[in-house]
Chains A and B, each alone.
Chain A
Amino acid sequence: MSETNGTPMLEASGLRSGYHGVNVLKDISFEVGNEVFTVLGANGAGKTTLLATLARLIPSTAGSISFLGDDVTRIPAFETAARGMGYVPQERGVFPDLTVMENLTVGGMIGERSREERIEEVVELFPDLGNLGNQVAGTLSGGESRMVACGRALMQDPALLLLDEPTAGLSPLYVDMFFEKITEIHQDKGVGIILAEQNATKALEVADRVMVLSLGEAFAVMDAANLTTDQLKEGYRI
């Protein structure tokens, strides 16, 4: 298993979790530093379950999670955000009854910097949001919703951002834009990123390291540059 450069931000050890007594994740262990760490895998591999478990939205049944040096395995979900973990779900990522600006301000309720300053930075990153401020989020397109969800997570000033398939179902233009933004968020803002993706080609372009999930098991954890097509195919069970 490859290791991070420097102190890891997040460490998962022997992690198991799932739904209704069935373990989807089986003894997953990895660590993530201040990098873009991509989680690849076919449908049903456990990518969404892994991110939701790290965000404490699904309880783990075994193993441990350490974040910024603290054991967060048993803390409630709302505390992970206060400790600097941002989470962007794949679907239902906005509050549909709130406007775009209200969605952003809900994300900015924690943190020390002024909310206005953070909104300015988010709008600078996603200029389209500036024109959509008063629009109710439930009426946005898929791409716009993802921008709002991502912007709202950034309003928390996270140290680590969990992105669950941010480009799923989007048009190629939006896909390209999102991958550019992921690089920008990491390089310019210094935010560590765990990116769950199915789009392996694009994801590997921005990734520092990669983990391939296969039926809930970590098939490979390595530098992204070293992942071969054969390994990927084996992990995807193609």
Chain B
Amino acid sequence: MNLEWLDAFLISGLFSVVVIIGLALLLHLQLGLTRIANFGVVGFFGIGMYSFGVMFTKVDWPFGDLPAFLISLAFGTLVAGLSGLLVGWLIADLDEDGVLVGTLGFATVVFILATTEQDLTGGALGLGGLKFPYDVGTVKADEFLWLIIVSIVVSLIFLYVWWVHRTPYGRLLIATGGNEPLARSLGKATFRTKLWLFAVGSAGMGLIGALFGVMERFLAPENLGIDVTLAAMVALVIGGTARAWGAVIGGFLIFGFFDIIVQSYIPFPKEWYGQAIPNAKLIVEGLVLMGVLLFRPLGILGAMQRDKLMRRVHG
């Protein structure tokens, strides 16, 4: 495959955008519909990434790479889902402050475990030995194929979110987020609903974390900074927390603009890429976020279009 036209920065930039969109879509179900302010996105992302990495690199698999890879991927997703179940059980009945502190605390625990459990995670030195489950010739081709695979996974997540919006389950999530005591009085087991949603969302975040780890090929605690959570949250808030497309629009507008357009297509002096552009990126993200919150608090796409949705559902 001739990929000379493809810049390594472009692949890396697109991959970051796709990962952020995937996390923001899952966060949309939790925050946008059900109003669970999960500030521990990176914790679930990280525990999935490290569980996958440890399983894949530390176990002496008796069979080939692909089955070992898939089992490790499933393991990482499962561990993240079970963590979501545990954390969700602890926070599901707490108020917003409690949810914030609880989820943030979980992310901190994961970061500390990744840093201190050297035998398993490699600690601050990191964990190497990860690789793609295929070899198509060159590193660039491998990365490009991985970008396509992860894009398909994120597209499936988008389709799931889009479908949820159109089902009674979606209405149940919105009802639970909008007025939980009322939903309970109508016969809805809201605790169970939130718990299940949180576990599934966390499993999805863990899966994305594992897929991210494969692209990195080297897991380090630096990947578990709060900026991952903030990136997903900023993308969602800017696009519109209540809309499935909000995560996609926000992800492309903010992270796509810098990670793809600025880095790949604007001929800034090379020395700017070290500090000036990353710093400018943070400043612009902050300014855009403030602008959106001030002038369009529901995000660029605005509120849910329930009326249009209803016409589609009921004719």
Residues on A close to B: CB < 8 A?
55, 57, 76-82, 87, 89, 92-99, 101-102, 105-107, 109-110, 133-136, 152-153, 156
Known A105-B171, A134-B310; contact A97-B242, beta-carbon cutoff 8 A: yes
User: Which residues of B267-315 are within 8 A (CB) of A?
Assistant: 303-304, 306-307, 310-311, 314
B202: CB under 8 A from chain A? Answer: no
Rounded to whole angstroms, the CA-CA distance of A124 and B272 in the bound complex is 69
A97–B181 CA distance with the chains assembled, in angstroms: 15
The CA-CA distance from A134 to B178 in the complex, in Å, is 18
The 5 closest A-B pairs by CB, nearest first: A81-B187, A77-B184, A87-B185, A134-B307, A95-B178
What would 15 A/B residue contacts be, using CB atoms closer than 8 Å? A76-B189, A78-B189, A81-B186, A82-B187, A95-B178, A96-B178, A97-B174, A102-B171, A102-B310, A106-B175, A107-B186, A109-B186, A110-B186, A136-B307, A156-B187
Residue contact A97 to B187, C-beta cutoff 8 Å: no
- Total A-B pairs, Cβ < 8 A: 91
**Contact of B306 with A98 in the complex, beta carbons under 8 Å:** yes
State whether the Cβ of B131 lies closer than 8 Å to any Cβ in chain A. Answer: no
Is B2 located at the chain interface by the 8 A CB criterion?
A: no
B: which residues have CB within 8 A of A? Answer: 168, 171-172, 174-175, 177-179, 181-190, 242, 303-304, 306-307, 310-311, 314
Given A89-B185, A152-B186: A106 touches B310 (CB 8 Å cut-off): no
Q: Report which residue of B168, B174, B178, B186 has the largest number of chain A beta carbons within 10 angstroms of its beta carbon.
A: B186
- A97 and B186 in contact (CB under 8 A), knowing A57-B181, A102-B310? no
Given contacts A57-B184, A87-B185, contact A105 B174 (CB under 8 A): no
Contact B171 A106 (CB under 8 A): yes
Of chain B, the residue at the smallest CB distance from A103 is: B175
CB pair B172 A106 closer than 8 Å: yes
Q: Which of B179, B183, B304, B314 contacts A101 (CB 8 A)?
A: B314
Chain A minimum-CB-distance residue to B307: A134
Name the A residues within 8 Å of B179 (CB-CB).
Answer: 92, 94-96
**What is the CA–CA distance of A98 and B168 in the complex, to the nearest angstrom?**
11
Task: List the A side residues contacting B183 at CB < 8 Å.
Answer: 95, 106
CB-CB nearest in chain A for B188: A78
Pick the contact of A80: B175, B185, B242, B307 (CB < 8 A): B185
> Known pairs A78-B188, A79-B187, A107-B186. 20 more at Cβ < 8 A?
A57-B185, A77-B184, A78-B184, A78-B187, A80-B187, A89-B181, A93-B182, A97-B174, A98-B178, A99-B307, A99-B310, A101-B310, A101-B314, A102-B171, A105-B171, A109-B186, A134-B307, A134-B310, A135-B307, A152-B186
